[in-house]
Amino acid sequence: MKLISLNTWGGRAGKEKLLTFFEKHKDVDIFCLQEIWNGGEHMLSESAGGMKLEGATPQLLKGIEGVLSKHTSYFKPHFYDFFGLTMFVKKEFNVVEEGDIFVHKENGYISSENLGNHARNLQYITIDTLAGPRTILNLHGLWNGGGKSDSEDRLLQSDNIVRFLQNVTNPHVLCGDFNLLPDTESLKKLETFGLRNLIKEYGITSTRTSYYTKEHKFADYTLVSEGIEVKDFKILPDEVSDHSAMYLEFE
């Protein structure tokens, strides 16, 4: 099974460039995507605090759906009802369960000081495979405008994720843009729970592209539980966002 996780940057590196990427990789079974717009044109034309919306594509979801026609999309917003997480799953797979839970604040929460500091959810989908059910989890972790170090909210977010994973009995993959540095206690909580950090295990030194000019080139992670047999893991070279795409192939 093949999986790609990507923070799309809302299409700000160029919608057509991004859609070409999905055309190139449309044989992939599952996509876990962050920063997906499904409307919200009015928000793009207004001041949006720390969201940095210039160049974003309001109908990005529909564009990707047009390319990945052999996949079913599952959209889970966390900023109003038009911005958030999306997973694409090939239609040949039987989806046993899908949904999301909020791991930072409650659904609908938006900071009055900075719109970028809004509620965060954890999206999940369980599918049938020849090896049994597998759960895939998609996360775009809290951005607070203060870097990617530990904070009280981030530590609580990790605790909420672990609490949910304690009830996931089948092997699972957790991936996405965590907005965390590698040495944070917030990330270590997930590792201590028993997840393998493939970014660390494979010696990945950056998950950002040349569009990202700041220091600290970490943000994105793929973690797997016991029972997930990793065949291949790598960072793809495609520059279609300020984040790199993570590629995972497992049993």
Q: How far apart are CA 84 and CA 77, in angstroms?
A: 4
Encode pLDDT of 161-183 as tens digits. Answer: 999 999 999 999 999 999 999 99
Q: Which of 222, 215, 217 is nearest to 250 (CA)?
A: 222
Instruction: Record the pTM.
Output: 0.97
- Look at residue 106 and tell me whether its pLDDT is greater than 80: yes
pLDDT for the residue numbered 182: 97
Parallel/antiparallel/unpaired status of strands 2-7 and 246-250: antiparallel
Q: Which of 220, 218, 143, 155 is nearest to 192 (CA)?
A: 155
- The CATH architecture to which 2-250 belongs is 4-Layer Sandwich (3.60)
Q: Measured in Å, how far apart are the chain's first and last C-alpha atoms? A: 6
Encode pLDDT of 6-45 as tens digits. Answer: 999 999 999 999 999 999 999 999 999 999 999 999 888 7
DSSP code of 243? B
Encode pLDDT of 108-122 as tens digits. Answer: 999 988 888 999 999
